[in-house]
């Protein structure tokens, strides 16, 4: 923000506020992405290190690669999440362990 302010010495209070809000929205989106993917469940494991069970039949599931998903956050920011896809060898269902 200091560099922005230095390059906009005549900015009004509202312009400064708008620039600050834009920067905060970017930071918020980064933090949201980091927090959403930080849990063991986001990688297909339980907190104790076991495999996530299928929500459809209750059997142990298997990791089936990763997929990216873009979500909109406050300030019209795009949050990119890379999540593990799980599949159930018993019933064949595919799902995200976080339920999202």
Region class of 98: left (phi > 0), else alpha (psi between -120 and 50), else beta: alpha
d(CA 38, CA 31): 10
**From first to last of its 100 residues, what are the pLDDT tens digits of the chain?**
999 999 999 999 999 999 999 999 999 999 988 888 776 666 666 666 677 888 888 888 888 888 888 989 888 899 988 888 889 999 988 987 765 4
């Amino acid at each position: 923000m200091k560099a922005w302010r230095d390059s906009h010495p005549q900015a009004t209070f509202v312009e400064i506020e708008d620039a600050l809000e834009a920067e905060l929205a970017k930071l918020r989106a980064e933090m949201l992405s980091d927090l959403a993917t930080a849990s063991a469940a986001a990688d297909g494991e339980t907190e104790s290190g076991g495999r996530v069970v299928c929500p459809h039949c209750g059997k142990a599931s298997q990791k089936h690669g990763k997929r990216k998903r873009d979500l909109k956050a406050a300030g019209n920011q795009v949050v990119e999440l890379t999540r593990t896809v799980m599949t159930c060898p018993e019933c064949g269902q595919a799902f995200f362990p976080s339920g999202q």
